[in-house]
Amino acid sequence: MPNRSDSPTVTTRSRVRAAVMFGAVGLSLSAVYAFSGYGIPCPWRVLTHTLCPFCGATTLGAYLLRGDVAAAWAANQFVFVLLVGLLLAGIIWVAELLGGPRLRFPARWGDQRLWYAVLGTAGVAFAVVRNLVPLG
């Protein structure tokens, strides 16, 4: 009997579920901040008085809720690009669940460790640059 967890539909379904949960949490945090002004304090910023790669993400979400894409971009370019990538991935995953083609990266790009290294390096580079050069 085949293992159902290896099925592309099950994997895609779990990816869509995770993306929806991530979006729901982000939407909730952004809505609370947009309507009350209360956000989550960044421990990195409290300790170092510098901005981490994710500082401004809640503000970005609040601006997106208002429809102000330019202000959202100015709040945090790194997270904005990550959200666009997640949105595109979500569209591809939903299309696959609806019977569309299964789109995947070439095998050599499919290693998660590569993506963690790329995103980690980009995040550190963004944090260094944003603390030395005003980006918005």
Q: Between these two residues, 109 and 132, which has the higher pLDDT value?
A: 132
The tens digit of pLDDT for each residue in 46-57 reads 999 999 999 999
* E strand or H helix that includes residue 53: none
Long-range contact pairs involving 15-22 (C-beta distance under 8 Å, separation at least 24): 15/89, 15/93, 16/90, 16/93, 16/94, 16/97, 19/86, 19/89, 19/90, 19/93, 22/86
What integer pLDDT is reported at residue 5 of this predicted model? 46
Residue 3 reports pLDDT greater than 50: no
**Rounded to an integer, what distance in angstroms lies between the CA atom of residue 35 and that of residue 129?**
31
Task: For residue 61, count other CB atoms closer than 10 A to its CB.
Answer: 26
Residue 38 reports pLDDT greater than 80: yes
Contact predicate 80/2, CB 8 Å: no
Is this prediction's pTM over 0.85?
no
What integer pLDDT is reported at residue 1 of this predicted model? 45
What integer pLDDT is reported at residue 100 of this predicted model? 84
Residue 82 reports pLDDT greater than 80: yes
Q: Between these two residues, 92 and 3, which has the higher pLDDT value?
A: 92
Mean pLDDT of 59-82: 95
